[in-house]
Amino acid sequence: MIIIMNSGVTDEQVDAVVNKIRSFGLDANISRGTERTVIGAIGDERKLEPEMFDTLPGVEYSMHIVKQYKIVSRESHKHDTLIDIRGVQIGGNQIQVIGGPCSVETQQQMDLAAQQVADAGCRLMRGGAFKPRTSPYTFQGKGEEGLAIFRQAADKHNLPIVTELMDARMLDTFLKHDVDVIQIGTRSMQNFELLKEVGRINKPVILKRGMSATISEWLMAAEYIAAGGNHNIIFCERGIRSFETAYRNVMDVTCIPVLKKETHLPVIVDPSHAGGKAWMVPALARAAIAAGADGLLVEMHPNPCEAWCDADQALNPQEFKDLMGSLKGIAQVIGRSM
């Protein structure tokens, strides 16, 4: 951290800042220029916050010079991290597609969806037993019954399951049903108590980007999980909110190379929630893979017209299979596999 002092700063004011820095176990370097005096904090500056200094006499402003996220940063871990999910790896050369319906509806629906996901060549399956909905009057998911239905359907095809956790009080229930990957949804990205709870277990976590979150805020949310001891984190871009109404959200393709530079953790993309319309999904999915994403989270329903939620963005089984075929060509061009 560096602290910029006012032009008329006194020695006493400089000493006060230096003493403040040293009280946290750091050392200080004083650089006196012709117009400004700059004080640098030497050591782990993550112990310090700008607010500690900005109100001190003689201080013009202060700022961090290293990233606040430490464990998830590429600085702390140079090589890409591979997340292993029952033998399926995310973050390596092989691109993974996690397919399945928005929500768990019936056993018949999930059995059919699991068969279709496996037939398309997917190695993981998605499905929501608990659904955060804008309206309190729409379908909210089948809860624990949905977890049991999902587990039974996926197990027939040896598919690890991905499903969203909304409430820390349900974590034990998720563990009881042996959920393979816990998804933290966009509305929960900054639910820090929930992040702390999933940080205490050893299950892989997909952390979706908040609908208005900056990349820095997203990385700091991941740091909450990592700080608890769980480093099995997968970032998921699902589109951010803007003024545009032609599609549901703006899929931020730029975030993929930015995250690849900033963090060693895998990055996947959810083109279904980004576009909000099934016809947009293939183009967005292909763009994500071309930009370097490690995987996709795609909604596929056995019969989208009958889906209980998000029907407009769900692919039918043939569309999903066609998408998987087109992605293989893109993966091959960029030196990866499906």
5: phi then psi, degrees, rounded to nearest 5: -95, 155
Residue 77 lies in a domain: no
Domain membership of residue 113 (yes or no) is yes
Burial of 320 (0-12, 13-18, 19+ CB in 10 A): buried
125 within some domain: yes
For residues 49 and 90, membership in a common domain is answered with no
User: Are 260 and 208 within one domain?
Assistant: yes
Task: Kindly state whether residues 138 and 168 are assigned to the same domain.
Answer: yes
Q: What is the CATH number of the domain that holds 22?
A: 3.30.70.1140
Mean pLDDT, residues 124-128 taken together: 96
Q: Do residues 39 and 132 share a domain?
A: no
pLDDT, tens digit, 9 for 90 and up, residues 244-293: 888 888 999 999 999 999 999 999 999 999 999 999 999 999 999 999 99
- How many structural domains does the chain have? 2
Look up residue 45 and give its DSSP letter: G
Task: Supply the mean pLDDT for the chain.
Answer: 93
Whole-angstrom distance, CA of residue 13 vs CA of residue 18: 9
Run of H or E including 226: helix 215-227
Using the predicted structure, report yes or no on whether residue 31 has a pLDDT greater than 90: no
Same domain for 296 and 183: yes
Check whether residue 47 and residue 137 sit in a common domain: no
175 & 305 share domain: yes
- Spatial distance between the Cα atoms of 313 and 310, rounded to a whole number of angstroms: 6
pLDDT tens per residue across span 205-230:
999 999 999 999 999 999 999 999 99
Same domain for 162 and 114, yes or no, is yes
Q: Which candidate, 118, 98, 116, places its Cα nearest to that of 158?
A: 118
Listed in order, strand segments (DSSP E) in 114-241 are 124-126, 161-164, 181-184, 205-208, 233-237
> By CB neighbour count within 10 A (0-12 exposed, 13-18 middle, 19+ buried), where does 297 fall?
buried
Q: What is the pLDDT confidence band of residue 159, given thresholds at 50, 70 and 90? A: very high
CATH of the domain at 289: 3.20.20.70
Structural domain span for residue 17: 2-63
Asked if pLDDT for residue 203 goes beyond 90, the answer is: yes
Residue whose C-alpha is closest to residue 58's, from 100, 124, 10, 23: 10
Same domain, 133 and 200: yes
Helices 107-119 & 317-333 angle (0-180, nearest 10): 30
pLDDT band at 57 (very low <50, low <70, confident <90, very high): very high
pTM listed for this prediction = 0.85
- Residues 6 or more apart in contact with residue 317 via CB below 8 angstroms: 116, 119, 120, 300, 302
- Assigned domain for 70 exists: no
Q: Are residues 48 and 91 in the same domain?
A: no
User: Of 15, 30, 63, which residue sits at a domain end?
Assistant: 63
Residue tagged 């990055």 (tokens): 267
Torsion of CA 335, 336, 337, 338, to 10 degrees: -130
Share of the chain above pLDDT 90, in %: 79
> Do 278 and 171 lie in a common domain?
yes
Least confident of 33-47, 231-245, 305-319: 33-47
| 221 assigned to some structural domain | yes
pLDDT at 49: 87
Same domain (yes/no): 229, 327: yes
Residue 260 is assigned to a structural domain of this protein: yes
Q: What is the mean pLDDT of residues 168-180?
A: 95
